[in-house]
Amino acid sequence: MKLSISKSESNRMINYIQQKDEFDYLINLIESLEEGNSIGILLNGPPGTGKTLLAISLANYFYASYYMIDGSPDLDRRDIEGNWELIQGDTHFNYGPLTRAIFDANENGIAFIQTIGGNTSKTRGDAWSNKYLFPSGMIPSTAQIGKAMEGIFVAEDWHNFGPDYDKTFMAWHQNFEKAWPELKKTYDERFYRIWRYYLLLCAGAFRSRYLQLWQIVMTRPGTEQPNVRIS
């Protein structure tokens, strides 16, 4: 799943600040706030440099929200985006810091999601994929995405590019086979079989329409509908 934030009818964006020294955060923050052209600030740097304290202080001063992601070695995308959880036989989506930030970014914000989707609701992913590639992964259905959005987002546009992903996976497979003579110097035959099977399996799943590729545009309830039909 991929997520991004934009601001309708504006050039405002989320500013990214990478620490260089102990004064770098403060200098860049002052410049960003003075320019007033951002709807958010992303701090990134090593532990112990005051990022959390600075974020909390600024959030309290400006009555804003802040979100923290611990970049530990076992960091998983679900720690950032959120995860699906099975509770008493029903699926529930736990929003992560990134998905919460998208909702809180601003009242006129637009959220964009690209995700692989399934035709039926399930509570667990494919056994082979879970074992070899995506542990605890699960492909959502339209019903599950709709339930996660309910009361939080308004679906403005929903496109399906599934058949195109068949061509994409076949192109990846062709590139993989072409590069294998060089790759096999580093990876073994087991790696080759797993990735070849994965690429062809996914191509077949999209070709048969078993899997879909959705791009969804969302806004917050009560906001003006953006122009999502620009070609």
Structure tokens at 30: 């002052």
Q: Is residue 73 part of a domain?
A: no
* 29 and 137, same domain (yes or no): no
Residue 2 covered by a domain: no
Number of Cβ within 10 Å of residue 118's Cβ equals 19
Q: Are residues 46 and 138 in the same domain?
A: no
Note whether 53 and 154 are same-domain residues.
no
* Residues noted as catalytic: 202
Is the Cβ–Cβ distance between 147 and 84 less than 8 Å? no
Q: Helix or strand or coil: residue 2?
A: strand
- Gap between the Cα atoms of 165 and 177, Å rounded: 18
Q: What does each of the 231 residues of the chain score in pLDDT, given as a tens digit?
A: 333 333 343 444 444 445 454 455 556 666 665 565 555 566 666 556 666 777 777 777 767 677 676 655 565 666 666 777 766 767 677 777 766 766 666 566 677 788 899 999 887 788 898 888 887 778 889 998 888 888 888 898 999 999 999 999 999 999 999 999 999 999 999 999 999 999 999 999 999 999 999 988 888 888 888 777 654
CATH of the domain at 182: 3.40.50.150
Is residue 117 within 8 Å of residue 145, measured between CB atoms? yes
Q: Do 120 and 203 share a domain, yes or no? A: yes
Cβ atoms of 144 and 117 closer than 8 Å: no
Taking the C-alpha atoms of residue 219 and residue 207, their distance in angstroms, rounded to an integer, is: 31
Based on the fold, state whether residues 164 and 128 are members of the same structural domain. yes
Asked if the structure places residue 1 within a domain, the reply is: no
Q: Which domain holds residue 43?
A: 9-66
Q: Are residues 49 and 162 in the same domain?
A: no
